[in-house]
């Protein structure tokens, strides 16, 4: 693929992405959304984040690992408990990373 074709591809993909996102922003002010849909859409960011994080915790080497030797899963579970109890993102990150590093050092 030539350099010009690659740049045209980048521009086309960028324009398509922009138009797709802009359409939602533009239409959001024009269309009245049902209340139940608005409530459901509040959970999309958390769901997307969970979809990214969960495989990294349960499949650290590309294979399912739910054993006690999976340090990422243990740190993630403890982080989930801390998040649930404290509702503080900074404390959750600090505890999760500290536990992960400690488990890595002890292994």
27 in a domain, yes or no? yes
Mean pLDDT of 26-44: 86
- Using the predicted structure, report yes or no on whether residue 103 has a pLDDT greater than 80: yes
- Using the predicted structure, report yes or no on whether residue 58 has a pLDDT greater than 80: yes
The Cα 78–Cα 4 span in angstroms is 50
Does 100 lie in the same domain as 60? yes
Does 99 lie in the same domain as 59? yes
- Using the predicted structure, report yes or no on whether residue 39 has a pLDDT greater than 80: yes
Q: Mean pLDDT across the chain, nearest whole number? A: 92
Q: Give the predicted TM-score (pTM) of the model.
A: 0.65
Q: Which domain holds residue 100?
A: 44-106
- Using the predicted structure, report yes or no on whether residue 87 has a pLDDT greater than 80: yes
| pLDDT band at 28; cut points 50, 70, 90 | confident
56 in a domain, yes or no? yes
Does 19 lie in the same domain as 48? no
70 in a domain, yes or no? yes
Mean pLDDT of 53-71: 93
Structural contact between residues 75 and 100, judged by C-beta atoms closer than 8 angstroms: yes
- Using the predicted structure, report yes or no on whether residue 100 has a pLDDT greater than 90: yes
Rg (CA), the chain: 21
Does 48 lie in the same domain as 86? yes
Give me the number of domains the chain comprises.
Answer: 2
37 in a domain, yes or no? no
The Cα 96–Cα 79 span in angstroms is 5
Mean pLDDT of 65-78: 95
Q: Residue 76: which of 59, 52, 92 has the closest Cα?
A: 92
Does 51 lie in the same domain as 27? no
The Cα 80–Cα 89 span in angstroms is 10
């Amino acid at each position: 693929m030539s350099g010009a074709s690659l740049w045209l591809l980048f521009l086309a993909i960028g324009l398509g992405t922009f138009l797709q996102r802009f359409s939602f922003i533009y239409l959001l002010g024009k269309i009245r959304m049902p209340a139940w849909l608005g409530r459901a859409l509040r959970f999309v960011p958390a769901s997307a984040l969970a979809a990214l994080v969960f495989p990294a915790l349960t499949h650290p080497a590309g294979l399912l690992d739910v054993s006690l030797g999976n340090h990422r899963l243990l740190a993630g579970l403890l982080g989930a408990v801390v998040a649930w109890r404290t509702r503080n993102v900074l404390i959750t990150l600090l505890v999760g990373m500290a536990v992960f590093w400690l488990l890595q050092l002890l292994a």
